[in-house]
Amino acid sequence: MHILVCIKQVPDTKIIKVNPKTNTLDRSSAPAILNPYDAHAVEEAVRLREVHGGKVTVLSMGPPQARNAIRKCVEIGADEGILISDRRFAGADTLATSYALFKAIEKIQTDQGVDLVLCGKHAIDGDTGQTGPGVARRLGIPPLTCVIKVAEMNLEKQTIRVHRKVEEGYELIHSPLPCLLTVEKAINEVRYSPLPNMLRATRYEPNVWTVDDLEDVDIKQLGLKGSPTIVGKMWPPEKSKGAQMINGDAEAQVKEVVNILLEQRELFDS
Residue 102 domain flag: yes
Amino acid in the structure at residue 57:
T
Percent of the chain beyond pLDDT 90? 69
pLDDT at 214: 95
183 assigned to some structural domain = yes
Residue 184 resides in a domain:
yes
| pLDDT, mean of residues 1-7 | 97
The per-residue pLDDT for range 108-120, each reduced to its tens digit, is 999 999 999 999 9
Residue 243 belongs to a domain: no
What's the number of domains the chain is made of? 1
Residue 30 lies in a domain: yes
Half-sphere exposure of 152 (CA within 13 A, CB side): 11
pLDDT at 238 over 90: no
pTM of full prediction above 0.85: no
Is position 239 within any domain?
Answer: no
Mean of pLDDT values over 223-234: 80
Q: Are 78 and 5 in contact (CB under 8 A)?
A: yes
- pLDDT tens for each residue of 60-101: 999 999 999 999 999 999 999 999 999 999 988 999 999 999
Tell whether the model's pLDDT for residue 145 goes beyond 70: yes
Taking the CB of residue 143, how many other CB atoms lie within 10 A of it? 18
**For residue 200, which of 94, 78, 55 has the smallest C-alpha distance?**
78
Q: Look at residue 147 and tell me if it is in a domain.
A: yes
Domain range spanning residue 135? 2-226
Q: Are 57 and 48 in contact (CB under 8 A)?
A: no
* pLDDT score of 98: 96
Expressed in percent and rounded to 5, the helix, strand and coil fractions of the chain are: 40, 25, 35
| CATH number of the domain that residue 41 is part of | 3.40.50.620
Q: Is residue 204 part of a domain?
A: yes
